[in-house]
Amino acid sequence: MTRHIQLAPDVEWIQLTTTEQDWQEADPALLKTMLVQMQIIRSFEEAVLELASEGLVHGPAHSSIGQEGGAVGSIVNLRSGDGVNGSHRGHHQFLAKGLAHLSAAMNGRMEPEAAVGAEVQAFLQRTLAEILGLDQGFSHGRGGSMHLQWLDAGALGTNAIVGGGVPLAAGNAWAQKHSTASASGMDLTVSYFGDGAINIGSVLETMNLAAAWKLPLCFFVENNLYAVSTHVSEVTGEGRLSGRGPGFGIRSWRVDGMDPLAVHLAMEQATEHMRSGGGPAVIEAEVYRYFHQNGPFPGSAFGYRSKEEEKSWRDRDPIQRMATELKKLGHLDDVAFLQMQEQVSAACNLAVSELTETDPQSKAGKRRIRPELWPDPSFVDVGIRGDLSELEGARTEEELTFKGGLREGKFVDAVAEVVQARMAADPSIVVMGEDVHRLKGGTNGATRGLVDAHPDRVLGTPISENAFAGLAGGMAMDGRFKPVVEFMYADFMWVAGDQIFNQIARARHMFGGTGEVPLVLRSKIAMGTGYGSQHSMDPAGVFATSAGWRIVAPSTPFDYVGLMNAALALKDPVVVLEHVDLYTTTGQLPVDDFDYQIAFGKAAIRRRGDSLTVLTYGAMVHPTLVAVTETEIDAEVVDLRWLDRASIDWEAIGASIMKTNNVLIVEQGAQGTSYGGWLSDEIQRRYFDHLDYPIQRVTGGEASPSISKVLERASYAGVSEVAAKLLTIKNDQGL
């Protein structure tokens, strides 16, 4: 007969509710503060919906009306050094964090009699300006309603991708844990998301990672029951969403989000747990959004919920609950409550009036945005990347003119040795990736010796590229640490696509152009190694389409050292492309000087010639030189080294094209994701008048490489394919 043993999680999962005694013992100043802050959020959101109904909010207006209790209850006692981020419906969290920051000088408390001072008024206007897309907003109007950031207040940035901000929050929490803590414990981070995000891979991956690394991160689930119109019961078998936490070993709380005090008490317990080093927490607050997903109409207007359901939740309104309890305790009366509401409403109306005016072209007296407040259109591309001031004064070298000692060494040794040198000199550098701390340097030896020298800064990750790439992005945006991330294979970028392209690449520009994202991604290319279609891509062409990323592709050990040093000095995200074919090749390495850079944006002329310009990079440089020698064509071979739009050496490319009037672009990988497609288009635009012949290209085939050795070789370009193209050019053009 089988035995059944009931299993239970190793951590607490608590349903917390308040009693009359909790309200009696609560600090009246705390309760009043929460009332004021919830009313500010409510009145602000009502003003936003009114503007949206007039067509003055360009894009969505995701109202948080009804959900104020969850935000204020959890944020009211947070410190300015604590971080919060959220999702597309994040006005209430942003406002709550800003109000907590501004009230810090008053011990974090606000009085109903003086609800809105000058600083709060300015904050409301600046927030509204951002939502309306105006220049005086926090991000000069670029972020709008869904991307609100105020780093001084600890508001890390709300996020339009459902669940997209959660891995970033983990990175912020990692930086907090590994920075000097105050006497009252380490700072912490709260990531807010809803019932939709709880089932998204990035959230679950991050829960696992945060638990494994005991990060001070609170996963705050605002369960408002609906995605857009789909009820939570339709999409999950466990409607108690906080139940996800114990599955990862995370202490979890479930509370009524319409009871702000319950939320606050749960958060106080979770905060004590996190600040003391106990690791992450999950809080699920059951809340209700009074309106539809977007705009000023209730959900019942769209038929997916009833008016009776909506009324039942409105009857539990968090503001009314707080006011009722304060009156019951003798700390508030009807007159004071009404006066506070009027004061807050007037403040929101003032913010609106400062940003709008009567439209002189409208006979109905409609409002319009004040025209002088829009951003200048010339600002559209400002701040996609940094201004490179961080590279000023850097020592740059080239192998041919290097005066230090050189030795023969492997390409893969250059990888390990330059990162070792930088980690020894810069304690902010952190290396992470799958197996980077094992196997004597990871799967290829590229991190050899690092974990022995820096055991706390070489992090072996779970197989969770979305989570650890996003965590690295959050670390970089925090600024205290500089992550170096290894993707074991370049193809894995698709798994982390949201974090790589939606988050890391766009963060600086999206939030106004001033934030820095110092992150290095080492991406291994394994074409020709028999790993097949999903482990063999060259990602250069994909990264080249993503504004924000810089791309370097070393072809020699000496260049690797200089390019990695430049990448680590930059305040932008940089992808360093490393081909497995190069790891075992040898070349000149410095004996002990690993401190130079390859000059920013400088290509290398590997062979001079007058008849044809050949542009290539990385592992195709040497095969191209071999093919040129075999075919005896008078070609100039340019090793691009810097590949992205903002870093590529147009001066060297242009000079060569104007000399040869003839271009061949050589790359190894498949046509579909090729880098050469973008490059040939740009050359056509820039140098059309200097071209005597159509731009020629060498690429792999249409299909990705296969496992079969024969089919794999047929799928990518090598010496023979380059030589064949060179001979065709030579014969057709009579070179």
Give catalytic residue positions: 535
Handedness of CA 44, 50, 56, 60 (dihedral sign): positive
Termini Cα distance of the chain: 86
* Token couple for 596: 């130079």
Using the Cα atoms of residue 37, residue 43, residue 45 and residue 48 in order, give the sign of their dihedral: negative
Rg over alpha carbons for the chain, rounded to the nearest Å, is 29
DSSP 220-280: EEEE-SBSSS-BGGGT-S---GGGHHHHTT-EEEEEETT-HHHHHHHHHHHHHHHHTT---
* List of residues 6+ apart from 68 with CB closer than 8 A: 37, 38, 41, 42, 92, 96, 260, 318, 319
Instruction: Please give the structure tokens belonging to residue 636.
Output: 């100039």
Q: What are phi and psi of 392, to 5 degrees?
A: -60, 135
Q: Are 58 and 375 in contact, with CB atoms under 8 Å apart?
A: no
Contact at 8 Å (CB) between 694 and 564?
no
245 backbone dihedrals φ, ψ, rounded to 5°: -60, -55
With CA atoms as reference, report the closest residue to 552 among 521, 581, 530: 521
Q: What is the token pair recorded at 292?
A: 């539809």
Q: Which residue has the tokens 């109905």?
A: 364
Sheet containing 573-579: order of strands: 458-460, 429-433, 482-487, 519-525, 573-579, 550-552
Tokens encoding 690: 């200097």
Measured CA to CA, the distance from residue 188 to residue 176 in angstroms comes to 7
Judging by DSSP bridges, how do beta strands 155-158 and 83-86 pair with one another?
parallel
